[in-house]
């Protein structure tokens, strides 16, 4: 069972719908006990980084930490990926999980529009478990965000929008994507399928 964590930050229907289409068993939950028992954990995210403070309020942060320590595959989407870092300028008082070094920043004010909304190409860096079977040299994914994480040693795909940033990260059993795989057509479904098929 894959737990899709509901931290009252918008809409989880699309994420659940995509896993359903892949035939994966999911449960949408805010309950730390359910999260701890899950084989895999997905942390979706739309909206504001401050909403991740709710994870702490719900008692989910410790559960996630323990699950990750125990080897449970974890996928953070959009703000869910940003939360893997130490924090974000979007909500300076709110700590991220800190599994990855660095903090998220706002796109620079320049000629480019902000938020970054739409389909952008990915440069997949190397043998990535999430991108297995994605054959296009520069696959497209759907983004909608104003804050980004710099490329790190854990970065497996980057995207360029004024700056080159982390589009996907992966280290041990921790995965994150800045784009919305549930809204990125066949490329996104392949990414989710790879997550579903990870051994656990």
Partner 1 sequence: MLTRRIIACLDVDGGRVVKGTRFVDLRDAGDCAELAARHQADGIDEIVLLDISATRANRGTLLESVRRTARELFIPFMVGGGIRRWEDAAAALDAGADKISINSAAVQRPELLTELASRFGSQAVVVAIDAMSGNGTAEVAIAGGTTRTGKDVLTWALEAESRGAGEILLTSMAQDGTRDGFDCELTKRVSTAVSIPVIASGGAGKAEDFVAVFNEGAADAALAASIFHSGEITPRALKQHLRAAGTAMRWPC
Using CB under 8 A as the criterion, which residues of the chain lie in contact with partner 1 when the complex forms?
Answer: 9-11, 13-14, 17-18, 21, 46-48, 113-121, 136, 140, 142, 144-145, 160-161, 180, 182-186, 188-189
Min separation Cβ 89 and partner 1, Å:
16
Structure tokens at 166: 């982390």
The verdict on whether omega for the bond into residue 44 sits within 30 degrees of 0, i.e. cis, is no
Q: Is 78 labeled as catalytic in the residue annotation?
A: yes
From the candidates 90, 104, 116, 182, give the one annotated as an active-site residue.
182
From the candidates 48, 56, 78, 86, give the one annotated as an active-site residue.
78
From the candidates 123, 170, 180, 200, give the one annotated as an active-site residue.
180
Cα(46)–Cα(141) distance, integer angstroms: 16
Q: Residue 38's Cα: distance from chain center in Å?
A: 17
User: Which residue is associated with the tokens 């320049």?
Assistant: 110
Contact between residue 7 and residue 30 where contact means Cβ atoms under 8 Å apart: yes
User: Strands across the sheet with 2-5, in order?
Assistant: 26-29, 2-5, 40-43, 74-77, 174-177, 163-171, 155-161, 123-124
Cα(150)–Cα(95) distance, integer angstroms: 17
- Residues acting as catalytic residues: 78, 180, 182
């Amino acid at each position: 069972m894959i737990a899709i964590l509901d931290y009252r930050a918008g809409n989880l229907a699309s994420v659940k719908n995509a896993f359903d289409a892949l035939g994966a068993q999911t449960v949408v939950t805010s309950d730390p006990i359910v999260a701890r028992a899950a084989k895999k954990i997905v942390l979706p995210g739309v909206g504001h980084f401050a909403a991740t403070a709710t994870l702490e309020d719900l008692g989910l942060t410790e559960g996630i930490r323990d699950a990750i320590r125990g080897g449970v595959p974890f996928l953070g989407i959009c703000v869910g990926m940003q939360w893997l870092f130490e924090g974000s300028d979007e909500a300076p008082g709110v700590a991220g999980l800190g599994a990855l070094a660095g903090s998220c920043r706002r796109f620079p004010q320049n000629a480019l529009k902000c938020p970054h909304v739409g389909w952008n190409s990915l440069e997949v860096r190397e043998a990535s478990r999430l991108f297995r079977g994605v054959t296009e040299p520069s696959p497209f994914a759907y983004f909608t965000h104003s804050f980004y994480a710099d490329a790190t040693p854990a970065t497996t795909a980057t995207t360029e929008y004024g700056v080159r940033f982390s589009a996907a990260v992966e280290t041990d059993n921790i995965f994150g994507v800045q784009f919305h795989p549930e809204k990125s057509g066949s490329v996104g479904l392949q990414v989710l399928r790879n997550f579903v098929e990870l051994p656990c």
